[in-house]
Amino acid sequence: MAQKALILGCAGTVLSVDEAAFFRDIDPWGLILFRRNCAEPDQIRRLVGDFRAAVGRADAPVLIDQEGGRVQRLSPPFWPKYPPARIFAGLAANDPLLGRAMARLAGRLMAHDLLSLGITVDCAPVLDVPVAGAHDVIGDRAFSLVPAEVAALGRAMAEGLLAGGVLPVVKHIPGHGRAGADSHAALPVVDAPREALDDDFLPFRTLTDMPLAMTAHVVYTAIDPRRPATTSRRVMQSVIRGAIGYDGLVITDDLSMNALEGTLRARARHSYAAGCDVVLHCNGKLDEMMAVASEARGLAGRARRRAEAALGRIRHLPEPLDQVEALALFQDMLARQQTEPSSSGFAAGHALSV
């Protein structure tokens, strides 16, 4: 059976017999891990290895959301607790070069953590630009309220991940920052005029060279008043592939989120029809994964070329890193930020702990 344009989850810390058989039959492009799947390092390595054995591909992508702050699937005592992205804007306010250097170092350190477990894709950085009155689902997950600063700091983190042999996923294209609702729970509708959306698009336009992007389950009425970006061919063609100019692999956000309507089969079908290359289903429920898989397309044509190009970005030895020394430097710089006032107005009290 041909490899499928799918990324799926699993229920627990080990693959069940049924999950392994399902993955063997379906051959999804990748697996995504959540906190429910992560107990300790050796367990994660076994889980990753069992997935790759099931699909028969040693380089099958394994993804995780490791942004820092509120969205971090790997946490102490086995892994450092990283600060939210917003902390880097505080550093950059006093020293832009330092802010970018620290964002890159955070990405490099996270890549070290992930690659040591066999995880090769991090669903970060967040390139959304929050605005006043938006839902706080993004909040301090965003690097800044200034689009150009989001672009600069997001690039720095993405380059740190790539240097460490881990693929970044820029999200949530074309922008979730104006959303007045959490798309996990409801469908956000953004009524901003088209010209105002250019600020949202700027970070994504600046990082079009990044290999992977994740969509926003958000309606932009100025572009398509009926469908969210994930299932809107108009948004895909006129904005993501058009105005933004992104030609990397586009992955949906989680199809099981409540922002989307219809059955899971319909959500998958509409996402492919809109032009998404790969669909993502996260909750690990086998019956739901089977429903999504029943609509799955083979990974072929431009989607396959984009997927191969993405994997080609990490077919290199990771940039050398003394992890102990680098982590100590990172901690020291954040500790200094805690004791020094920031002209940015952002709170600096996000220490990194282990």
Nearest to 72 by CA among 10, 166, 13, 141: 141
Q: φ, ψ for residue 51 (rounded to 5)?
A: -65, -45
Spatial neighbors of 171 by CB under 8 A, at least 6 apart, are 123, 124, 125, 126, 127, 128, 213, 214, 215, 216, 253
- Does residue 186 contact residue 259 with C-beta atoms inside 8 Å? yes
Among the listed residues 122, 200, 224, 253, the single catalytic one is 253
Does the annotation count 184 as an active-site position?
yes
Spatial neighbors of 291 by CB under 8 A, at least 6 apart, are 263, 264, 265
Tell me which residue has tokens 């040693």: 58
Whole-angstrom distance, CA of residue 288 vs CA of residue 271: 16
Among the listed residues 18, 25, 95, 184, the single catalytic one is 184
Q: Which amino acid is at 271?
A: S
Tell me which residue has tokens 């999804």: 28
Does the annotation count 65 as an active-site position?
no
Helix (H, G, I), strand (E, B) or coil at 164: coil
Whole-angstrom distance, CA of residue 129 vs CA of residue 169: 16
* Sign of the CA dihedral with 54 first, then 55, 58, and 63 last: negative
Q: Which amino acid is at 205?
A: R
Strands (DSSP E) contained in the chain are 4-8, 28-33, 62-64, 66-68, 71-72, 121-122, 167-173, 189-190, 212-215, 219-220, 249-254, 278-281
Give the catalytic positions in this structure: 184, 253
